[in-house]
A and B are shown apart, each in its own frame.
Chain A
Amino acid sequence: MATEPETAKAAVQALIYRAALLLDAEKFTDWLTLCAPDFTYRIETYSPEIRKRMTWLQHDVTGLRAMIEMLPRHNTDHGQLSRHVSVYTVEIEEGGSAAAAVSSFLCHRTMLDGINAHLDAGETQLFLAGKYYDRFRLDEARPLFIDRTVLLDTRRLDKGSHYPI
Chain B
Amino acid sequence: MTADLSSYGNEALPFVDSRIYSDPALFEEELQKIWKKTWLATVHESELPEPLDFRTLTLAREPVVILRGSDGKVRAFLNVCPHRGNLIVRRPAGNLSAAEPSGTANHMTCMFHAWQFDGFGRCVDIPRQKQGYQDRLSKDDVRLTELPCTVAFGGFVWVSLDKGIMPLADFVGDAFALMREELETEPLDIFHYHKAVIRSNYKLWHDTNSEFYHDYMHYFNRATSMMQKGYFDRRYTAFPNGHCTVGSMEVKYDAYQGVGDRPLSFPGMPRNGWKMVDLFPGTTYNIRGSSLRVDTMTPLAPDCVMIEFRGIGLKRDTTEERARRIADHNSIWGPFGRNLHEDLLGITGQGVAMRPGTEPRRILHGRREDGTIHDEIGMRHFYGEWARRMGRSPSRPDEAAAAAAE
Interface residues of A in 4-52 (CB under 8 A from B): 43, 47-52
Q: How far is it, in angstroms, between the C-alpha of A63 and the C-alpha of B335 when the chains are bound?
A: 17
Instruction: Check B389 for interface membership: any CB of A closer than 8 A.
Output: no
- CA distance in complex: A69, B259 (Å): 13
Instruction: Identify A57's interface contact among B93, B191, B336, CB under 8 A.
Output: B336
The interface residues of chain B lying within 8 Å CB-to-CB of A74 are 219-220, 338, 341-342
CB pair B92 A49 closer than 8 Å: yes
Known: A54-B191, A77-B345. A162 touches B197 (CB 8 A): no
The verdict on B362 contacting chain A, using a C-beta distance below 8 Å, is: no
Q: How many A-B residue pairs have CB under 8 A?
A: 110
Is A157 an interface residue, CB under 8 A from the partner?
A: yes
Is B194 engaged at the interface, CB distance under 8 Å to the other chain?
Answer: yes
Binds A, one of B244-252, B275-283, B326-334: B326-334
The answer to whether B55 touches A57 (Cβ under 8 A) is: no
Does the CB pair A157–B335 fall under 8 Å? yes
| Structural contact, B256 and A160, CB atoms closer than 8 A | no
Known: A75-B342, A156-B194. A48 touches B91 (CB 8 A): yes
Distance, CA A18 to CA B104, complexed state (A): 52
Shortest B52–chain A CB gap in Å is 13
Query: Which residues does chain B contribute within 8 Å of A163, judged by CB atoms?
Result: 336
Complex contacts, A69 vs chain B, CB 8 Å? 257-258
Closest A residue to B49 using CB positions: A51
| Residue in contact with B196 in the complex, picked from A50, A57, A65, A156, CB distance below 8 Å | A156
**A89 interface residue, CB < 8 Å from B?**
no
Q: Is the CB of A58 within 8 A of B327?
A: yes
Q: In whole Å, how far is A155's beta carbon from the nearest beta carbon of chain B?
A: 6
Q: Cβ of B172 < 8 Å from any Cβ of A?
A: no
A67 within 8 A of B: yes
Closest chain A residue to B190, Cβ basis: A50
**Given that A69-B257, A70-B219 are contacting pairs, would A158 and B198 also be in contact in the complex, using a CB cutoff of 8 Å?**
yes
Q: Is B326's CB under 8 angstroms from A162's CB?
A: no
Interface centre among A52, A62, A158, A163 (most CB of B within 10 A): A158
Complex contact B47–A161 (CB within 8 A):
no
Residues of B within 8 A of A55 (CB): 323, 326, 330
Which residues on A sit within 8 Å (CB–CB) of B194?
47, 54, 56, 155-157
A70-B338, A76-B341, A159-B341 known; A51 vs B93 contact (CB < 8 Å)? yes
Contact status B196-A157, CB under 8 Å: yes
Taken residue by residue from 137 to 165, chain A's Cβ proximity to chain B (1 for < 8 Å, 0 otherwise) reads as 00000000000000000011111111100
Contact A54 B193 (CB under 8 A): yes
- Any chain B CB within 8 A of the CB of A122? no
In the assembled complex, B217 has its CB within 8 A of some CB on chain A: yes
- State in angstroms the CA–CA spacing of A57 and B192 once bound together: 12
Mark out the residues of chain A between 50 and 90 whose CB falls within 8 Å of any chain B CB in the assembled complex.
50-52, 54-58, 62-63, 65-67, 69-70, 73-77
CB distance from A55 to the nearest CB of B (A): 6
List, in ascending order, chain A residues with CB within 8 A of B326's CB: 54-55, 58
Q: Which of the residues A48, A56, A70, A76 comes within 8 Å of B93, measured between beta carbons?
A: A48
Interface residue B72 (Cβ < 8 Å from any Cβ of A): no
Which single residue of chain B is at the shortest CB-CB distance from A57? Answer: B336
Whether B47 lies near A159 (C-beta < 8 A) is no
**Residue from B192, B193, B196 in contact with A158 in the complex, judged by beta carbons closer than 8 Å:** B196
B195 within 8 A of A: yes
**Residues from chain A with Cβ under 8 Å of B92 in the complex:** 48-49
**What are 5 inter-chain pairs, A to B, with CB distance below 8 A?**
A55-B326, A56-B335, A56-B336, A74-B342, A160-B335
* Chain A contact residues, CB within 8 Å of chain B: 43, 47-52, 54-58, 62-63, 65-67, 69-70, 73-77, 114-116, 155-163
B residues lining the A interface (CB < 8 Å): 46-47, 55, 91-94, 190-199, 217, 219-220, 256-259, 323, 326-327, 330, 334-338, 340-342, 344-345, 348-349, 352
For the complex with contacts A50-B193, A58-B326, A75-B341, 20 further pairs of A-B residues with Cβ separation under 8 Å are A47-B193, A49-B92, A50-B46, A51-B94, A54-B192, A54-B193, A55-B323, A56-B330, A56-B334, A62-B258, A69-B258, A74-B220, A75-B217, A75-B342, A156-B196, A157-B196, A157-B335, A158-B196, A159-B196, A160-B334
